[in-house]
Amino acid sequence: MTLLELFQLLRKHIKLLVVLPIVCTVAMAVVSFFMMENTYTASTSMYILARESSAGGSTNYTDLSASQMLANDVATLLQSDVVQDGSAKKLGLKSLSDYKVSVSSETTSRVITLSVTGKDAEGVARVANAIAEEVSEVAQNVQMAQSVNVIDRADAPTSPSGPNRTLYVAVAFLAGLFAAVAIIVLIDMLNTRVRSSEDAEELLGISVIGRIPVLKDGR
């Protein structure tokens, strides 16, 4: 099928090509705007103070590569069950399963950013701050770092961070358009009716030597 034939085929089924994407778009808009709950994200940043040796000098953590290793260790600790269970206990919660915790750190820095996402704006800020406090205590107890100091405490977000409703609606429109094109092409492939002399030649492999005209009065 050539590109011109495809355009002609799509034009023939223009109603399906228009209606299906619109239906998918409207359906996703209803779901995303009326059925999906808003989510909020609160972030706090922490600075890791490395341990010092008994002689008063710094340990191997003073070089940049070791600092990054220390940051990675604390980042892993932030997402551990020990820290999260301890944070939940301090907040009077059974667990933090309703919250998504993510951690990021710069390549050559001891600063770690902790982000907590959930459905409650006030709750995500409380959880983020509780985890930051808990990880400092645990890091000191296991002698991983001298301390983990909070640079910026998490504040309750004033606007939702998700869901990205515009993206969902756009994807639904493209999915509907793709589905419409696929259905139209499939219908054409399954239709084996001979509609022109070219179809007859392609089907039978022989040339057409004549045509019988159809008269308006049926004779």
| Three-state helix/strand/coil letters over 149-205 | EEEECCCCCCCCCECCHHHHHHHHHHHHHHHHHHHHHHHHHHCCCCCCHHHHHHHHC
Full-model pTM: 0.71
Enter the tokens of residue 29.
């808009």
Q: Residue 145: name the closest of 45, 55, 44, 61 by CA.
A: 61
Q: What share of the chain is helix, strand, coil (3-state, %, to 5)?
A: 55, 15, 30
Summarised one tens digit per residue, pLDDT across range 202-218 is 556 666 666 666 666 55
Domain over 40-152 is classified CATH 3.40.50.2000: no
Summarised one tens digit per residue, pLDDT across range 46-102 is 988 776 544 444 444 445 566 677 778 888 889 899 999 999 999 999 999 999 999
Query: Hey, where are the domains in the chain?
Result: 3-34+163-204, 40-152
